[in-house]
Amino acid sequence: MANNQQAEGQRGARWRKSARGRKSARARRRTISFYLFIAPWLLGFVLLSVVPLCIGFFTSLTNYDGFDPADSKFVGLDNYTRAFSDDRMFLSLSRTLLWAAINTPLWLVVTFCMALVLNQKGIKGRGFLRTLYYVPSIVPIVGVVWIWKIILDNNFGLLNAIISIFRPGTAIPFMSQYALQSLSVIALWTGLGSGMVIFLAGLQDIPEELIEAAQIDGANALQLFRHVTLPIMTPIIFFQLVLGLISAFQQLVLPMLLAPGQEAGGWNPPRGSYLYMIHAYRQLFIYQRYGYSTALLWLLFIVIMALTLMVFRTARYWVFYEVEIEGGGQP
Amino acid sequence: MNGKTLSRRDFLRMSALTAAGTALTACARPTPEATEAPAVEEPATEAPAAEAPAPAEAANVVMMHQRNELSEDEEAQFEADYPGVTIELIEGDDNAFLARIAAGSPVDLRRTQAPAVPQFLNRELTYDLTPYFETSDVLKIDDLAPANAYYMANSPTAIGEGNIYGMCKDWSPDFTLWAFTDAFEEAGVDLPDDTTVLTYAEVADLAEKLTVFEGERIARWGYAYADGWIDRIWMSLLDEVGQSLYAEDYSSIKLTSNDDLKAMAQYFFDLASNNFVANPLNPSTSWIGDDFARGLVGVIQYGYWFGGMAESDVTAGKVVMLPAPTWSGKRLDRTITATGMFMVSKTEVPDAAWQVFEWYNGKEPAEARAASGWGVPALKSMYDLMPNETEFEQQKRRVLQDEIDLETPPMQFNPYIGAEVVAQTWNLYLEQALSGDMTLDELLATVEEEVNVAIQEGLERTE
């Protein structure tokens, strides 16, 4: 009996060992498959992002000017310290912070509200309206800017012409003194579609039974929104907030194209829309300060990273996840 | 694998980090090869052996240019006429041009303008074409129009004569005026005779009279000039009074210590502050040439080339070319652009590149450009090809000839800074000065300080 038990025990041990071996081989195969599948992306990421980032960082430690790299010198952290005595850098950073503070919440609120409206089942032509609101997002940016220049021009713009019907001779300086506000409107218009689509996808993912249960419990529309829709949408809002914040800090093309005086290569954004990326761009392409410009971009990266981490830190207080997540988060 | 799955939070975190990181990659220095650019085989200051160039062997010539200045048909014609030599046209700016050099794949021919030439010479990016010119039957040195002097130099700070490093594709005396006659009629102002040379003070007077205000709105600007070239304008006006924008060795710019320059800056500042010209507080959404063609400008200051587009549906038959005004009474009218082409010192196919260069500047494309009326030909022998049929064309030619006869020598641009540094810095701070946040003196001091920093950086790199 004892011998039988011992033999069975040995067989069991062999079987378990063999099973572990099979599991281990399967795990290895899965690991290899995993890395093979992600290899194209990983290679692209390393070669097109990591390597240029490293080269960019190295450049920020030199006085390279775009000509012969042999003429450049290693200057240590000089480019970084220089930034802190650059008044224009501080101006551009403050304008960018203001821009992000205005534009990001505005974009989030408007696109979320639009998604809520276009998610209602009773709306006629809902598909058409969704397409219509997405159109600005697929118009080439140069075309967008020209449309808005025609509307906002100080002297010959459509908006001032309409206002002039009631108050002749009006020339509100949308393109100069109110450049940042104008920029916000244009950015909102172009970003409507992309923001709305993400929110719509999130809204359509809300389980019907939750809504029905709330309705059976007597929740009205406002309560339904406050206690069901909004909590479930918070991960999406969080995602949009992070991306919106990052893209606000990276804004370059819109203020650049909207800047007046583009003849003779002389575009100059007004102070109102002199954003951080504009300053970095000018340092690189006008003053040929490749080293300083890349240092400015690394500093921007640090600012974005810090703000993003701050947003992440706040997430535990307001982002609702459907499942318990290891290390924090609400149930 | 530990079996832990990627949570949604992890995914969001990774996405955010990746997006933030990617922002920096766009402005990274080009490719690792950037630090391993091949050695310069033909430094700009060392001419190839002065003997007749050998016929080009089969080669592909990479040309960084604008497609609207070399059609695909012309390109095909060249390749049919010159078997074995092909043209690869790439559109790009100076930054793309430098990036290709840093990456070890330089182009062979590059479009440029006069203000950039000294810096390219200084950085040894230009190929000495003198031996080619000396033996060419197409591009003869005696036949070169005076504007080509911008591409001749004994050193980066001695432009005007010496070795030949390129040539312009066409040019114009750039200080001439173009008047929109309707603006004069509507303002009740007499149109100046096209043989009368105005002073800049008279131009300012015209600007005031021709500007139309309707309430806060400006319905027409009296005057327009290329504010993106403000430093070139100052340089030319200073030349009239025997002054220079820069120190003798080009190691600094002189804005605050030069009373003549201050008066010129005040002149352009006053035009802007009175809204007689488009300015940062009251900008044009387009460019001034387009504004003129739409009838929104009374007088515009551009070269002969502008005659090719001055007449639109609005302005047709209502445009008159006027001579360049003068600041002090001394007549000068020079080109400040001289758009042209040079061969890159690192080219590995100089003979084939020369064939393209010679053909583009001396054969069919050059003849077509001359006949188009969009500029004065770079070869004197082609002057007669300029259009001279209609009354407007004849009037333009009359005024143009007087300006060409002035034989104004080229200007020396600063070899230590980029071509746009001065004007861009001025225009950047002009808004603050116009808003009353700084005085004109403070504006000049700020521009001087910033430009001098840029000059010092350029000097340090080439020492």
Check CB contact under 8 Å for B20 and A149: no
B40 DSSP assignment: P
Task: Return the residue of A nearest to B288 by Cα.
Answer: A263
Coarse DSSP helix, strand, coil percentages of chain B, rounded to the nearest 5 percent: 45, 15, 40
pLDDT band at B26 (very low <50, low <70, confident <90, very high): very low
d(CA A77, CA A85): 13
Q: Is the pLDDT of residue B375 over 60?
A: yes
Q: pLDDT digit string (tens) for B259-296?
A: 999 999 999 999 999 999 999 999 988 889 999 999 99
**What is the CA A134 to chain-centroid distance, rounded?**
18
Q: What is the number of other CB atoms lying within 10 angstroms of the CB of residue B88?
A: 12
- What value does the mean pLDDT of chain A take? 89
Rounded to 10 deg, the angle between the A179-204 and A141-152 helix axes is 130
Cβ(B153)–Cβ(B163) under 8 Å? yes
* Gyration radius of chain B's alpha carbons: 25
Ordered alpha helix ranges (H), B405-438: 421-434
Chains A, B: CB contacts within 8 A come to 216
d(CA B293, CA A19): 84
Fold of A60-329: MetI-like fold (1.10.3720)
d(CA A90, CA A303): 13
Instruction: Give the mean pLDDT of B403-408.
Output: 94
Check CB contact under 8 Å for B217 and A300: no
Chosen for mutation from B5, B27, B211 (greatest number of chain A CBs closer than 10 Å) is B27
Check CB contact under 8 Å for A287 and B418: yes
Check CB contact under 8 Å for B217 and A298: no
d(CA A91, CA A78): 20
Contacts of B227 in chain A (CB under 8 A): 261, 263-264, 266
Report residue A166 as tokens: 């009631």
Check CB contact under 8 Å for A286 and B418: yes
d(CA B102, CA A55): 13
Coarse DSSP helix, strand, coil percentages of chain A, rounded to the nearest 5 percent: 75, 0, 25
Q: Where are the domains of chain A?
A: 21-48, 60-329
Largest Cα–Cα separation, chain A: 110
Q: pLDDT digit string (tens) for A209-265?
A: 999 999 999 999 999 999 999 999 999 999 999 999 999 999 999 999 888 765 544
pLDDT band at B24 (very low <50, low <70, confident <90, very high): very low
d(CA B379, CA B60): 27
Check CB contact under 8 Å for B98 and A66: yes
pLDDT band at A267 (very low <50, low <70, confident <90, very high): low
Check CB contact under 8 Å for B278 and A260: yes
Cβ(B280)–Cβ(A271) under 8 Å? no
Instruction: Give the mean pLDDT of B127-139.
Output: 97
Report residue A260 as tokens: 């007046």
Q: pLDDT digit string (tens) for B32-87?
A: 333 333 333 333 444 444 444 555 568 999 999 999 999 999 999 999 999 999 99
**ipTM for this prediction:** 0.83
A62 DSSP assignment: B
Beta strands in B91-176 (DSSP E): 109-112, 152-155, 158-164, 166-168, 170-171
Q: Is the pLDDT of residue B176 over 80?
A: yes
Q: Does the predicted TM-score (pTM) go above 0.80?
A: yes
Report residue A230 as tokens: 């909004």
Return contacts of B437-443, CB within 8 angstroms, 24+ apart. B440/B262, B440/B265, B440/B266, B440/B269, B441/B256, B441/B262, B443/B265, B443/B269
pLDDT computed for residue A261 by the predictor? 64
Check CB contact under 8 Å for A297 and B432: no
Q: pLDDT digit string (tens) for B219-270?
A: 999 999 999 999 999 999 999 999 999 999 999 999 999 999 999 999 999 9
- Distance from the Cα of A239 to chain B's closest Cα (Å) equals 6
d(CA A67, CA B20): 28
Q: Are strands B217-224 and B297-301 parallel, antiparallel or unpaired?
A: parallel
Q: B122 by DSSP, 3-state: which?
A: helix
Q: What residues contact B453, with CB distance under 8 A and at least 6 apart?
A: none
φ, ψ for residue B170, nearest 5 deg: -165, 175
Q: pLDDT digit string (tens) for B308-328?
A: 899 999 999 999 999 999 999
Q: Which of the residue ranges A28-42, A120-134, A212-226, B138-152 has the most confident prediction, judged by mean pLDDT?
A: B138-152
Contacts of B446 in chain A (CB under 8 A): none
Poorest-pLDDT segment among A111-120, A171-180, B11-20, B450-459: B11-20
- Distance from the Cα of B260 to chain A's closest Cα (Å) equals 24
Contacts of B99 in chain A (CB under 8 A): 66
Q: B419 by DSSP, 3-state: which?
A: coil
The residue among B103, B84, B64 whose CA lies nearest residue B344 is: B64
Residues 70-89 of A with CB under 8 A from B: 70-72
**Residue with the two structure tokens 């007499």:** B190
Check CB contact under 8 Å for B285 and A301: no
Report residue B157 as tokens: 């700070």
Angle at A224 between CA A222 and CA A229, to 5 degrees: 110
